Structure 1
């Protein structure tokens, strides 16, 4: 399948950037064809509607949900790209329609989406509420799970730009996890089925983002939804949309998630368990925290009348401002030598660092400064 050509036809262009709420998706939901069954399945803490979109009439049932964390919207965009693909009535779309039943909750946490926060309106992380079920959104997801009885679950998230695919300078643009079902993190038939789907998705993604697919940490926490559903004998897959080079709006990453969704769906079935899939899964490099958004090396400062050569790092903070997510570069580390990689790196050549404060980078300070009093950096970036 020529994914690049198809994607140019089906990308849902009305969804763009990092801020995606009910107000953005409702007009699109209203235009979906009769092939899709739309329902309001419940309400959030602040009584915002939570929608489901159902497609297909096949035997294998897949439940997927996005924006369980309100500020993780990339997979929501990819889900609507998937809906547009299914509208094409192509051979692949018809195959999915006849063999699968998809039930998608595009935004599980509409309050958090509107506020652009990880938690819901009660400041509870829904992905740590799978056992307590203390929140209406958690109860809703568990109720849909019990009613729908899926054969597979897709838990759709974003991850920060700090992750590398293994011990490399390759960003983890997409990461996956087959969550553990017990403390020992053993592989039973259910978990192996999840790994087999991940292996298929990874093999396809290597054609587009070679060496930029990671494997998320599988530490066991039964309070997480993935571990809970896996322990209930439903193969569950965690999707993590991460950083692609110079793509802070995640417009490239959404395409790779869309590709993964199609490959994942077509490989989500109850085939015979193949033990070699475990080895193929474990060869996917585990995510490592090796990146900063900015690294500045070899800058000269004067501290206590002594000239020092330092390096410093900065990461973007995402701030919701008037309905738009603004990226604010903030200093996170100052040291003689920084081991991390930077998505953007600058070598000061032992030139002089100055700023409008104390002429020294400081933790949590906005990254606005000068090199040799002539080259200006604003919000982390060198002015051209």
Structure 2
């Protein structure tokens, strides 16, 4: 009984629109907080909902590799909403959020209190396509199994996935569309030097980017949720570029008279799997469904939409080391103080790259290190002339002695330190750091090594700890 009361209270808060992120933890579907969500992850959930009588689950069709693509329908109302996720296979945040939405609605079905029932269920028919591109999801790839970007297939319709989405839109004839994506975590929110954790857009329907009634309604929906997002994400809300793309589904649906809202889930500090963006997606869906049901979004003008800062596509770096001193070539003293900015490609899955030397003050950093007073040193190579069993204590000793990397045969080194090592790295033994190369070096203070940067990762010698700037975003 107490559990049911607790669930009802949490659900009432969510449905009232007054929820905080903590209120949504009750409805976070387990097993989906990760960087890659595949068809195998959602198949048990789909199977479960196929057994429920408060919604309809049908197989919309099959992908290139014959994985099923599902359509879920909820409600019988006149106002139709179509939402689709993971048309890019490596963008899973909204897929998790859609199943969280189903968990909220499932909780409503299981309570015996009519007060918990969301009013929009009577006025809306909601259609969900979770994971439009299951083949891309399997590969953790943007593209489908043919290497085609499904979101650039609205014109030619060369992919079965694109054909199925267009078929659904033409058969359902939705009034509203939620186009759900993830964006690169290096997008910043305007000039805030903060990540654009959520970016929104009402896509253009023509080259002139004019505003017709359907696009106007999409802009109003965004204006209506801006206060909530500003409170949850101070200076971390962005507006996606509205350049017209004739091949893209959002723009095409906008031209078809569907009020389409693009949601891009982005990076956040110390949130590797974008769980705050996931929770905010759920809040957005519930807010918009309520507003579409009662028409309250029409009370908002476009000022909120127009005041959202544009995305800054290169606004964030993974790591910024500031005020590093570079020595003169003859060793006679300081030459310059520079900032070093690093990124790890593939949204953190690729190698770390030094891609900015100089003034990095225009960027925000997920992590930063103030190196004031510290001097850049390429370090020395420790030759592997025989087997070396490397403990943390021995490794720190070598770093303190000025060795930044190892040379020789990698098989000779057994690394038991728990810390990264560099063996025969590129871009070392240079007097000054080199773009795209120098991710292994030392930082000294008054001649003593304080920090080691090994393959772009920070080791603090004082306590032999790894300060990993890439694992949390």
2:344 corresponding residue in structure 1? 316
Please give the alpha-carbon distance, in whole angstroms, between the structure 1 residues aligned to 2:252 and 2:93: 24
The verdict on how the C-alpha distance between 1:231 and 1:100 changes in structure 2, with shifts beyond 3 A counting, is same
1:299 Cα shift?
2.4
In the TM superposition, what whole-angstrom CA distance separates every residue of 1:207-228 from its partner, at most 9, and x where no partner exists? Answer: 3222221111111111111110
Partner secondary structure for residue 206 of structure 2: coil
The verdict on how the C-alpha distance between 1:8 and 1:279 changes in structure 2, with shifts beyond 3 A counting, is same
2:248 corresponding residue in structure 1? 224
The verdict on how the C-alpha distance between 1:170 and 1:341 changes in structure 2, with shifts beyond 3 A counting, is closer
Partner secondary structure for residue 225 of structure 2: helix
In the TM superposition, 1:1-384 aligns within 5 A as 1-32=18-49, 33-89=52-108, 91=115, 93-268=117-292, 271=295, 277-289=301-313, 290-301=315-326, 307-318=335-346, 327-328=349-350, 330-338=352-360, 339-349=362-372, 350-354=374-378, 355-356=404-405, 357-359=428-430, 360-365=432-437, 367-372=439-444, 373-378=449-454, 380-383=456-459, 384=465
Partner secondary structure for residue 160 of structure 1: coil
Partner secondary structure for residue 165 of structure 2: helix
Q: Is the CA contact 1:328–1:366 (under 8 Å) kept in the aligned structure 2? A: no
In the TM superposition, what whole-angstrom CA distance separates every residue of 1:218-262 from its partner, at most 9, and x where no partner exists? Answer: 111111111100001111010000112211211122111111111
Please give the alpha-carbon distance, in whole angstroms, between the structure 2 residues aligned to 1:112 and 1:305: 54
Partner secondary structure for residue 194 of structure 1: helix
Stretch deviating more after TM superposition (82-91 or 236-245) = 82-91
Please give the alpha-carbon distance, in whole angstroms, between the structure 2 residues aligned to 1:93 and 1:215: 33
The verdict on how the C-alpha distance between 1:41 and 1:185 changes in structure 2, with shifts beyond 3 A counting, is same
Q: Is the CA contact 1:314–1:329 (under 8 Å) kept in the aligned structure 2? A: no
Please give the alpha-carbon distance, in whole angstroms, between the structure 2 residues aligned to 1:101 and 1:274: 19
The verdict on how the C-alpha distance between 1:142 and 1:295 changes in structure 2, with shifts beyond 3 A counting, is same
In the TM superposition, what whole-angstrom CA distance separates every residue of 1:47-73 from its partner, at most 9, and x where no partner exists? Answer: 111122221222211111111111111
In terms of Rg, which structure is larger? 2
Task: Please give the TM-score of this superposition, normalised by the length of structure 2.
Answer: 0.74
Stretch deviating more after TM superposition (1-10 or 45-54) = 1-10
The verdict on how the C-alpha distance between 1:97 and 1:379 changes in structure 2, with shifts beyond 3 A counting, is farther
The verdict on how the C-alpha distance between 1:20 and 1:309 changes in structure 2, with shifts beyond 3 A counting, is same
Stretch deviating more after TM superposition (25-34 or 305-314) = 305-314
Please give the alpha-carbon distance, in whole angstroms, between the structure 2 residues aligned to 1:353 and 1:311: 15
1:160 Cα shift?
1.3
1:269 Cα shift?
5.2
1:77 Cα shift?
0.9
Q: How many residues align?
A: 378
Q: Is the CA contact 2:376–2:443 (under 8 Å) kept in the aligned structure 1? A: yes
Q: Is the CA contact 1:192–1:273 (under 8 Å) kept in the aligned structure 2? A: no
Unaligned runs of 5+ in 2: 1-17, 379-403, 406-427, 460-464, 466-473
1:188 Cα shift?
1.5
What's the C-alpha RMSD, in Å, of the aligned pairs?
Answer: 2.4
Task: Please give the TM-score of this superposition, normalised by the length of structure 1.
Answer: 0.91
The verdict on how the C-alpha distance between 1:303 and 1:267 changes in structure 2, with shifts beyond 3 A counting, is farther
Q: Is the CA contact 1:70–1:116 (under 8 Å) kept in the aligned structure 2? A: yes
The verdict on how the C-alpha distance between 1:269 and 1:282 changes in structure 2, with shifts beyond 3 A counting, is farther
Task: Report 1 or 2 for greater relative contact order, CA contacts < 8 Å, sequence distance ≥ 6.
Answer: 1
In the TM superposition, what whole-angstrom CA distance separates every residue of 1:320-379 from its partner, at most 9, and x where no partner exists? Answer: xxxxxx644512423222232211111222422335333454444484443224422345
